[in-house]
Amino acid sequence: AQKITQTQPGMFVQEKEAVTLDCTYDTSDPSYGLFWYKQPSSGEMIFLIYQGSYDQQNATEGRYSLNFQKARKSANLVISASQLGDSAMYFCAMREGRYNQGGKLIFGQGTELSVKP
């Protein structure tokens, strides 16, 4: 069964506008963590933001915020004020298990974001 679903293979956004990248997940474990990574054309995986299943507030990191809707099992990434350097593949990932036990990270198929000047 697909654990992480990213339904947008590709997205375009105008520079300086905000964009939302969708991610839904499937788990029966009450404890889990959600991650977003950026992969530019150079291939490196860059950690962007983390949301724990018990966190009361949505995570934010600079221009990145995570719209966490637990009941809907969605964890969408919002990038505000897009920049040309934001053009990259974006992966949503989930790790099940208790906070103090870690566990394997399962990735979605990714969304390719292109920022237009």
Partner 1 sequence: GAGVSQSPSNKVTEKGKDVELRCDPISGHTALYWYRQRLGQGLEFLIYFQGNSAPDKSGLPSDRFSAERTGESVSTLTIQRTQQEDSAVYLCASSLYVGGSGNTIYFGEGSWLTVV
Selected from 44, 62, 70, 114, the binder of partner 1 by CB under 8 A is 44
104 touching partner 1, by CB under 8 A: yes
Binding string, residues 60-89; x marks residues near partner 1 by CB under 8 A:
------------------------------
103: contact with partner 1 by CB under 8 A: yes
Q: Does 25 bind partner 1 (CB under 8 A)?
A: no
Can you name the residues that pair with 13 across neighbouring β-strands? 115
Q: What is the DSSP letter of 101?
A: T
Rounded CA separation 34/21 (Å): 14
Reference 99, options 57, 55, 69, 63; nearest CA is 55
